[in-house]
Every structure is written in C-alpha cells, then in structure tokens.
Amino acid sequence: MALFKQSTFTATGIKSLCWRGDELVDWVGGGRSFAVDGTERDPKVSYRYRFDAATASPDGRFAVIYQRVGTKGLLLHDGRILRELERSSYFADAYEYPVSLFNGPDGRVLLAHCPRDYRRIDLEDAETGLPLTESADRELSDFFHSRLAVSPDGQRLLSAGWVWHPLGLVVSFDVAQALTDPSHLDDGQDLPPSFGPGLVEENSSCWLDDHHLAVAVSVMPDRAAAERDEEPRSGMAVYDAIQRTCLQAFQLDEPAGTIMALGERFVLSLYRHPKLIDLSTGKVVHMWTELRSGLQDGSIIWGLDGDAVPPPMAFDAATKRFAIVNGDTITRIEFDLAER
C-alpha cells in the first residue's frame, strides 16, 4: 500500500494556504480558493497591507491573517473582517507572530494570542471578542510566546517560543485551568530533559494525540563535545504531556524544522525538504527532494531570506493532509498511514 497520494495544480501569486474542508484557501490573497482539481474561485477583497501568513480554525470558517514578523493581524469570519489584532513590537521583527484558532473544551472557537504583552497569552471567544482570561493577578515570566498549538481535544496549549539569550523552549498549559485561573498561563510547564544534560534547545513541536507530543530539539552528544565548542546535533523527542515524561528520543542527520503530526507514529519534518519520519525508528521513510520547504528551525526567523523563507503551506493533522506552494505550483499530499 502506498504511503501517500500526491497531486499538483498551477496557481500564481499564492500568499498563504489554509484548509477549509477539501478546499485550499489563500486568505491573505483575499480568499482565493481552490477545489481538489485546482478549479479556482476569485478573491473577494484586496488587503492593502504586508500580511504574509494565515492560520484557520479547524472548520476553516475563522481565519487570522498576519505579518509573520510584524505586529498586525486581522481576524476573519467567513472572509468578513471581525476585528484587528496586534501584538507587542518588542522583537516582533525577529520571531513568528503567536496566534492560534481552536475548538475549546466547550466547543466554542477560541483565539489564543498575545495582544497585550509578548510574555502574556490571552484567550478570547473568537466570534464575539469576549476576553476569557482577564485578571489583575497575572505575573508574567520573561518568555517570548510563539508557534502556539492546541491538542486535538482542545484541552492543552503549547507555546514553542524562546527566552533570552536566545534559547528555544516549549511550554504547555491546561486550557480549562487557564479559563478558570488565568494566572496558569503565566506558569507554563517546561518539558523534562529528553537527552539528559545534552539538551540544548527545543525548536518546534506538534501534538501526536491529546496527550502526546513530538518536539524537535538540538543536543550536545557529550560534555567533551561541548568543551570542544562543537555545533549541537539535531534530534527529536516524544513526550507524555500529562505525566511529563520523555518516552523516546533520537538524533537526526539535520534539523527537523517545523513538524506536523501524522497520527501517533509519524511526523512530517519541513526543514529544507519535506521528510516523513517514523517515530518508532527515528528513520526518514520518504523525502520530497523536488519540493523546497525553507530553513526555518524555531520561532526566531530573523535573517531568513530567499529560498530559506518557508513557502505557503497548509496543515491538516486530523485528516493527514498537507499542501505546499513552490513557484506557481501547489502540491497536495494525502497520507495513508493507518495500517503501518
């Protein structure tokens, strides 16, 4: 049985990609959409600003378009502007805008972002704008939140951000607890070491299921290597986020970059070229060398230019689908990994 099914179609000038059912939508491009066969529907609006990225709710009805290393965003509902968003300008030109749309524990679509301070995550009702984590008791830790991701059941929130000097780290939160006690969002749980004293950074992460997550890391193989000023090696770890235990860790030949979960056993690694990694062995099962996916390796993307900048990509972990733009071509990949 094939691991995946791949198809392509031509489309020019794509600025962002998100899934909406079986369609792909370029929200930054004004809502251009593409059916499975590539049939295009024209944009409805032109946004006269430097937006260059988008993220959408699981059903595709809500979306946020934003400037990846800027301060501005727009929240959309079925393509209509609901309100403007903004984050702190402090180092905003260095790291990725923190924002996520997800189905909360009660089924409402929630917006997670940092509208007041780079150190403070807030949750709000996406449709109404009702603040859900207002509190006078917030005591902020000095953490730059970024690359927010929520577990499939909407119960846990990850922030794959960084601390000064800079150092990439992943922290997690219980969404229900945060809605009851907003100060919980100021005291995220660090992940336990995955490589003993050799762990250097946690660069990106994704949920494998409601309790488990994969984290792309960099490590020093031993103390002697550190004393010789060797470059850290790349690796990946699997964690139980509830028990806060590292279940598995292995080294990789190169950084994993952004990672997308494909069930509990596989992840798609997006550094340089898309690569399918089997978490049970740590091996690359397939590499799409014909596709360029950029050199992003963490939330800090200061200095990336040219082909190093990730192209527009769309992720759908629930149905194991992925799409990527290279030049004037959109490639859709649907994975079939259930029996493996």
Give the CA dihedral 331, 286, 159, 244, nearest 10 degrees: 150
Which ranges of the chain have pLDDT less than 70? 1, 189, 193-198, 221-229, 338-340
Distance CA 17, CA 8 (A): 14
DSSP 47-63: --S---EEEE-TTSSEE
What is the model's pLDDT at position 226? 52
What is the model's pLDDT at position 254? 95
Distance CA 279, CA 297 (A): 19
| DSSP secondary structure letter of residue 179 | H
Note the pTM of the prediction, 2 decimals: 0.94
Distance CA 36, CA 193 (A): 43
What is the model's pLDDT at position 220? 73
Distance CA 13, CA 51 (A): 14
DSSP 286-297: EE-TTS--B---
Task: Write out the two tokens for 62.
Answer: 């809500």
The Cα-based distances of 266 to 136, 155, 198, 207, 276 in angstroms read 42, 22, 24, 11, 7
**SS3 (DSSP) at 227:** helix
- Whose structure tokens read 């032109």? 46
What is the model's pLDDT at position 2? 77
Residue type, 141: S
What is the model's pLDDT at position 196? 61
pLDDT digits (tens, 9 = 90+) for 106-133: 999 999 999 999 999 999 999 999 999 9
Question: Residue 164: is it exposed, middle or buried by C-beta count within 10 angstroms (0-12/13-18/19+)?
Answer: exposed
Q: Label residues 303-340 b or e (16+ Cβ within 10 Å = b).
A: ebeeeeebbbbbbbbeebbbbbbbeeebbbbebebeee
What is the model's pLDDT at position 286? 97
Task: Write out the two tokens for 188.
Answer: 């995220």
Q: Left (φ > 0), alpha (ψ -120 to 50) or beta: where does 325 sit? A: beta
Residue 203 phi/psi, 5° resolution?
-100, -35
Report whether 59 contacts 82 (CB < 8 A).
Answer: no
- Sheet containing 167-174: which strands, arranged edge to edge? 148-150, 156-163, 167-174, 189-190
| Overall size of the chain counted in residues | 340
Q: Residue 262 contacts by C-beta under 8 Å, 6 or more apart in sequence?
A: 268, 276, 317, 320, 335, 337
What is the model's pLDDT at position 340? 53
